């Protein structure tokens, strides 16, 4: 089924209701489009609904951190050293063995 303005995985869109979302998967078998809203919420649209909402394709938002706005600063700072740079990911994984 061909639809107008076909969704593309990885592209950002804005619906008529001003919701900003990214297409993360397309399931042609089920005729659904999986999306992730800017706030991190995952959703699913039927292909038929895609046409009726007529989303406008946009460039990726400058502030991609929208889904991470509610992360506690203590969590982020625990992965930074005194110079405010990221610690080696190896140090985060210390104590775990490869099986």
In a domain, 6, yes or no: no
Distance CA 96, CA 80 (A): 20
Domain of residue 65, residue span:
12-91
In a domain, 4, yes or no: no
In a domain, 39, yes or no: yes
In a domain, 76, yes or no: yes
Structurally, how many domains does the chain consist of?
1
In a domain, 5, yes or no: no
In a domain, 1, yes or no: no
Let me know: does 7 contact 50? Beta carbons within 8 Å: yes
Checking if the pLDDT of 1 tops 50, the result is no
In a domain, 52, yes or no: yes
Checking if the pLDDT of 5 tops 90, the result is no
Distance CA 58, CA 87 (A): 34
Of 62-71, 78-87, 89-98, least confident by mean pLDDT is: 78-87
pLDDT digits (tens, 9 = 90+) for 6-36: 899 999 999 888 889 999 999 999 999 999 9
pLDDT for position 13: 95
What are the start-end ranges of the H helices in 6-99?
A: 47-53, 73-77, 89-92
In a domain, 20, yes or no: yes
């Amino acid at each position: 089924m061909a639809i107008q303005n076909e969704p593309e995985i990885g592209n950002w869109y804005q619906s008529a209701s001003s919701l900003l979302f990214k297409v993360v998967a397309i399931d042609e078998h089920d005729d659904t489009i999986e999306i992730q809203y800017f706030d991190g919420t995952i959703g699913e649209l039927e292909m038929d609904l895609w046409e009726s909402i007529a989303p406008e394709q946009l460039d990726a938002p400058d502030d991609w951190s929208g889904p991470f706005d509610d992360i506690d600063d203590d969590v982020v700072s625990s992965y930074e050293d005194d110079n405010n740079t990221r610690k080696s990911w190896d140090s985060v994984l210390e104590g775990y063995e490869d099986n």
